[in-house]
Every structure is written in structure tokens, then in C-alpha cells.
């Protein structure tokens, strides 16, 4: 019988994988449910985005239509709020929540919200750090130099730092969105909870991403420690 090696460290990833799958399913089902409920004022996602931006003095921020579903984003470099097919022309409460959320990011940048400043600073160094870190981990394991692997792990952990900083950015954008939708009477009182459920489901995906990264970092630490013990 051939020898089959089982890497037990993969076990630590199972809870994170389950959470990530749950978060994606929850977001998809929640969005699909509330994308079928229109708002009483008949406003589209693009209408609401323009209203919110103008109300905050962000007349220079442009709105563009992009393809896809839930591909909405705000790019501070181009100063453009991009709304997807499922948001731009839709009058659903889900679409309005998403549009308001992206405008929340534009307001964060305009007002100098600290977490988004930190996140922007990490955008450039995180990909380089994680790539360099993974290479150092491999070299450290191949040549039995655990200390080098640990240095690599520290660099690789930048991805978790980035995702940790992303959480307050996303939660704050959602809170801004819901507050604006309420104060400006864009959504009725009975419609607001629907938008909140959509944004809460979206936020869960960011939590799942952070948990997945932490689980992977812990797994790599176990591998490095095993290598140290063998040596």
C-alpha cells in the first residue's frame, strides 16, 4: 500500500473555509431577496449616489456604470464611484444601500477618516510584503532556517493587518450610508432594515476574509515550528 501523507495543519483552515462559504451564501441570498423590493420614491442607485455626493459637497466625484453584480467601488485616485449593473439603474432597497455605502467611502476620503488613510498607505506595501514574505518562508523551510521563515511570516502577516484595518473602514461606510438614507428620507422607516441587512451581510465577507488570513498565518506558523523541531 502506498504511503499517503496527510498534512494535519489544513485542519485549522476548515472553520475559516466554512465561515467564508457561509458569508458568501448569506450575501448572495440577502441581496437577491432585497433586490426585488423597490424603494417607495422610485430612486435609482445612481440617483442616490449623486444626491449623497452633492449633499457632501463632492460635486467633482463622478459616477460611472460598470458591468457585473456587486462590483461597486470607489476609486480615490480617479475620484469615481463605480456602480454595477445590479446597482446603477436599480430602484431596489438593496441597490440604494450599496450605492450609499460606496459614497460613504468617498466621504471618508474627503473628511480624512483615519482608518481609510491607514488602509490607503497599506495598499501599496501589502502585496509586495506578502509576496516577499511567502518567498522567505519557502526559502526558510527548504534550507532549514526557521528564523528566516519567521521573518517571512511577519511580512506575510501584512495581509491580515490590511484586512483588520479594512473592517472599521467598511463598517463606518455602512453606518454613514444608513444614517444618510434615514436622515435624508431616501428610504422609509420600513425600508431601512432591508438595506441594513444587505450591508451587514456584505460586512460579514470582510470578517470572513480576516479570519481566513489569520487561520492561514497560524497554519504557516505550525509548519515553521514543526520544521524547527525536526532540526
Query: Mean pLDDT of all residues in the chain?
Result: 95
Contacts of 72 (CB under 8 A, 6+ apart): 66, 81, 82, 83, 84, 87, 98, 99, 101, 102
Q: What percent of the chain has pLDDT over 90?
A: 93
Instruction: Out of 102, 170, 191, 216, pick the active-site residue.
Output: 102
Residue 90 Ramachandran class (φ > 0 left, ψ -120 to 50 alpha, else beta) = beta
Mean pLDDT of 61-71: 97
Between 231 and 23, name the one with better pLDDT.
23
Around Cβ 205, how many Cβ atoms within 10 Å?
A: 17
Mean pLDDT of 108-114: 97
Active site residue 102: yes
pLDDT at 1 > cutoff 60: no
The pLDDT value given to residue 67:
97
Ordered by start, the domain boundaries in the chain are 8-230
pLDDT band for position 8 (cuts 50, 70, 90): confident
Mean pLDDT of 80-109: 98
The pLDDT value given to residue 165:
97
Residue of 32, 7, 22 lying closest to 141 (CA atoms): 7
The pLDDT value given to residue 206:
98
The pLDDT value given to residue 231:
67
The pLDDT value given to residue 166:
97
Q: What is the pLDDT of residues 185-227, one digit of tens each?
A: 999 999 999 999 999 999 999 999 999 999 999 999 999 999 8
Q: What is the pLDDT of residues 150-168, one digit of tens each?
A: 999 999 999 999 999 999 9
Amino acid at each position: 500500500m502506498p504511503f499517503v501523507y496527510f498534512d494535519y495543519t489544513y485542519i485549522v483552515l476548515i472553520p475559516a473555509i466554512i465561515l467564508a462559504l457561509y458569508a458568501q451564501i448569506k450575501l448572495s441570498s440577502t441581496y437577491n431577496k432585497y433586490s426585488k423590493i423597490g424603494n417607495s420614491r422610485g430612486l435609482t442607485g445612481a440617483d442616490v449616489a449623486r444626491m449623497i455626493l452633492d449633499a457632501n459637497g463632492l460635486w467633482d466625484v463622478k459616477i460611472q456604470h460598470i458591468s457585473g453584480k456587486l462590483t461597486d467601488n470607489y476609486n480615490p485616485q480617479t475620484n469615481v464611484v463605480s456602480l454595477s449593473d445590479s446597482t446603477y439603474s436599480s430602484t431596489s432597497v438593496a441597490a440604494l444601500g450599496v450605492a450609499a455605502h460606496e459614497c460613504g467611502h468617498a466621504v471618508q476620503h474627503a473628511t480624512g477618516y483615519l482608518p481609510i488613510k491607514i488602509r490607503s498607505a497599506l495598499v501599496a506595501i501589502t502585496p509586495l510584503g506578502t509576496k516577499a514574505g511567502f518567498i522567505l518562508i519557502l526559502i526558510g523551510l527548504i534550507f532549514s532556517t526557521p528564523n528566516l521563515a519567521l521573518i517571512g511570516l511577519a511580512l506575510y502577516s501584512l495581509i491580515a493587518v490590511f484586512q483588520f484595518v479594512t473592517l472599521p473602514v467598511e463598517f463606518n461606510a455602512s453606518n454613514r450610508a444608513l444614517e444618510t438614507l434615514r436622515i435624508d428620507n431616501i428610504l422609509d422607516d420600513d425600508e431601512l432594515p432591508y438595506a441594513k441587512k444587505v450591508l451587514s451581510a456584505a460586512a460579514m465577507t470582510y470578517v470572513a476574509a480576516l479570519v481566513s488570513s489569520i487561520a492561514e498565518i497560524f497554519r504557516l506558523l505550525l509548519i515553521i515550528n514543526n520544521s524547527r523541531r525536526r532540526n
